């Protein structure tokens, strides 16, 4: 799975390839977010910074993504240095909006702006 972070300015961040595996779902989320006018950065993001940004409110959402899960919101992080929540542990509108858009494309319920879907006979 891959992971994304959504910040208070509306931008998204995901670890760069090489520190995380490439993936179709990751690429699709980046494309859909950019289509919506969001800035998407591929950059390292440490657990300490994640904790600090969650505490300050700068980090609004975090979610994992992958083929089977599509998008799974991350509400709580557990670690040996202590647990912390992101935005009260609730699923956020960016993650859930991207999930709905991607699933709707997969099921043919909305326009496929990138021609990802192929009809198989």
Q: What is the Cβ-side half-sphere exposure of residue 54, based on CA atoms within 13 angstroms?
A: 22
3-state SS assignment for residue 119: coil
At the fourth CATH level, the homologous superfamily of domain 2-106 is: D-amino Acid Aminotransferase, subunit A, domain 2 (3.20.10.10)
Q: Would you list the domain boundaries of the chain?
A: 2-106
Q: How far is the C-alpha of 71 from the C-alpha of 115, rounded, in Å?
A: 20
pLDDT digits (tens, 9 = 90+) for 54-71: 999 999 999 999 988 899
pLDDT digits (tens, 9 = 90+) for 76-86: 999 898 999 99
Say if CB 13 and CB 43 are below 8 A apart. yes
pTM, two decimals, is 0.93
Going by pLDDT thresholds of 50, 70 and 90, the confidence category of residue 112 is very high
24, pLDDT greater than 90: yes
Instruction: Say which range, 19-23, 40-44, 55-59, has the weakest mean pLDDT.
Output: 19-23
Say if CB 75 and CB 9 are below 8 A apart. no
What is residue 102's DSSP assignment?
H
3-state SS assignment for residue 88: helix
pLDDT score for 121: 83
pLDDT digits (tens, 9 = 90+) for 85-94: 998 888 999 9
């Amino acid at each position: 799975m891959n992971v994304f972070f959504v910040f208070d300015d509306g931008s998204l961040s995901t670890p760069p390839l090489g520190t995380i595996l490439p993936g179709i779902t990751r690429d699709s989320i980046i494309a859909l977010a950019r289509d919506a006018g969001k800035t998407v950065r591929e950059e390292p993001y440490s657990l300490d910074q994640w904790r600090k940004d969650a505490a300050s409110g700068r980090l609004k959402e975090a979610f994992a993504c992958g083929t089977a899960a599509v998008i799974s919101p991350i509400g709580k992080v557990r670690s040996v240095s202590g647990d912390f929540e992101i935005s009260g542990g609730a699923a956020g509108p960016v993650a859930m909006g991207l999930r709905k858009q991607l699933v709707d494309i997969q099921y043919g319920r909305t326009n496929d702006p990138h021609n990802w879907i192929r009809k198989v006979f």
